[in-house]
């Protein structure tokens, strides 16, 4: 959630190795990312592109500490 809101870097497993994906600020659930030539090998040579879809899950409100709950409740609709 933090990386989706504020941006950051995450490790992603590709068919060949782990790579670092730069996540932009305000990433939305379902947003798509393309990693050029990080997919499976093509029959014509080279590698295909790897497509990723952001799957952002919100925490259960009961698991948030009181200070964070109060800050979130003060946010405008």
CATH code of the domain in which 41 resides: 2.60.260.20
Task: Give me the pLDDT at residue 72, please.
Answer: 86
pLDDT digits (tens, 9 = 90+) for 19-71: 999 999 999 999 999 999 999 999 999 999 999 999 999 889 899 999 998 99
pLDDT band per the 50, 70, 90 thresholds, residue 77: confident
Q: What pTM was computed for the model?
A: 0.75
Task: Give me the pLDDT at residue 30, please.
Answer: 97
Domain around 25 = 2-73
Q: Which two tokens stand for residue 38?
A: 């990080």
Task: Give me the pLDDT at residue 39, please.
Answer: 94
Taking alpha carbons only, the member of 58, 37, 34 closest to residue 46 is: 37
Structural domain total, the chain = 1
Q: Are 52 and 21 in contact (CB under 8 A)?
A: yes
């Amino acid at each position: 959630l933090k990386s989706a809101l504020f941006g950051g870097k995450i490790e992603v497993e590709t068919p060949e190795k782990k790579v670092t994906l730069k996540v932009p600020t305000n990433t939305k659930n379902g947003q798509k990312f393309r990693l050029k030539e990080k997919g499976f090998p093509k029959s014509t040579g080279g590698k295909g592109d790897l497509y990723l879809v952001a799957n952002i899950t919100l925490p259960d409100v009961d698991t948030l500490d009181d200070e964070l709950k109060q800050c979130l409740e003060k946010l405008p609709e």
